[in-house]
Structure 1
């Protein structure tokens, strides 16, 4: 460890913030006990370019202001990845880090890993080994390639370990440490209870009566194809006859709704003007929420419908039924051990599984191994030992 002087951590999109927050906290804690100075540099690529959305997450998670913001913004996969690589190479040449830490599977992850690999900088990939086995997903390509060039592969589940072994990753590079997203959730769960989001939305305040379902929907496979999007919305509209649906919608999804002329499916809610949700036959669309507000909504939902990978994990920890609006998942542990069920974009299945939950047939899960809030501590201990 005495030879390690500088670590660069990379974030680019919202899910990255929850994953890097406990890592930064552990770096601070461990650095206090080290005789040699350990310098940490936080780089925000700007892949997720909505300043207000990013700002709320940094505030909620007590993340320090990024030391460097590359400001790459939105673009096609190729253009965005290229921009990140060009700008991140400048950072690496200037900062000369001993290690970079990348998390998850976004374009920032593979772009910065590629730069580091070409410059001979060691790479730690957090959330390694997850596989959907669907190469049509851009994230799957990012996952596979990042793992292939990383030096330290930190996994969330034993399935991921096996995936890496099958791909020829040497055993000595693989470390099963648990789930850093769960570190963050467990740390902020109590604080999230203080959120006023339920009152702002006019939802039932009796938490014994879970009076709404929560929806997230943003993947291109769901919202970029008008026919697929409409089929999902028709099913959700049917479900909303039995329970109101709360939908904090990503700006990109909101643009697709307008582009396709699908406004008729929604009741638009403006929290700032104190407009409440419509509890009758409605998908209630609102702007994106802060981490703590969303966690509060998720923890008190009857069930969650999502195409997000991270939410499949978070609902498992919270023991909230989750219906995944995708044909596959890179997080099969949430199916085998958690509360997750795959429904895809099939309207009949979406409605059927939703009705099952409303009729009391909810899936009961258990907490996966090492999802105990200590993953980041294990990661930093390993890096200190190995470096």
Structure 2
């Protein structure tokens, strides 16, 4: 097996064994705490531009199957694991994780101390890193210097969003799903409720959306800083009050910005399938799936028409919002839960009810 190194801008170097692609790769090094769900994680477009550390020590033990992908083409820059399972055992398994990474040209490294790496990220925050080419001799100091000087692209949403609209037909409510890097789980949940879905690109205008007469707007998850997508903020500004809106993750952050709020970068983000969130209206605590590096600033909401509905029990950050005047709500976590618990799946039913209620109000006004 060929050797490979992970080099961080902090000066830390981890030496391990290469798997997947032999190429080198640079990206933001982050960690996720899920015990399972590595297939959904590696195919989640919200990880675009990132090298993902799996904190659970054994990865790949149930292989890769055809059904659990959250996108067709993975967007991660690499994966870091403590131990890679070479002989998965599961009746659904089609190929190994190593086989998939070779097929998709994604580099990985195994055999390093992922606990130590996670502690470094928790101390310094998400850091820039490079996975060296397999078997390559490297000059560590030069690599660290170049890494510190490197600025990563900020167009991750553009990279993972659909380039043109496409339908996912149903006979229920028509929903425009704005794709900022959506997980297929969101589309699945809408389809399960017989929604007539039209998926549209991140840079779609409000006028283009309204031209197809939707009953509701879904703002999807996606990668990166929400402030890097100003065209989406403008689009949402022009839609607020016209149509019911449900935002998830990046969609939640963009909705806050469009409503006069602000966002900030978390030190090391929330990534995993075990994050407790409290519903402030009911007092109920739900275990949620999360993947984000930015959050809404609660102080910035003062003077807006937004109300905080959910908070994270781990650090008190904003996890949910609702508009006080119009039918619109958002959550920072993933109610489609792939991977993760299904505690929050009911939010899709709430969205359907919101669209029904809005249609009834419109009908009453027309007959008044």
TM-score by length of 1: 0.31
**Structure with a larger share of its residues in helix:** 1
TM-score by length of 2: 0.32
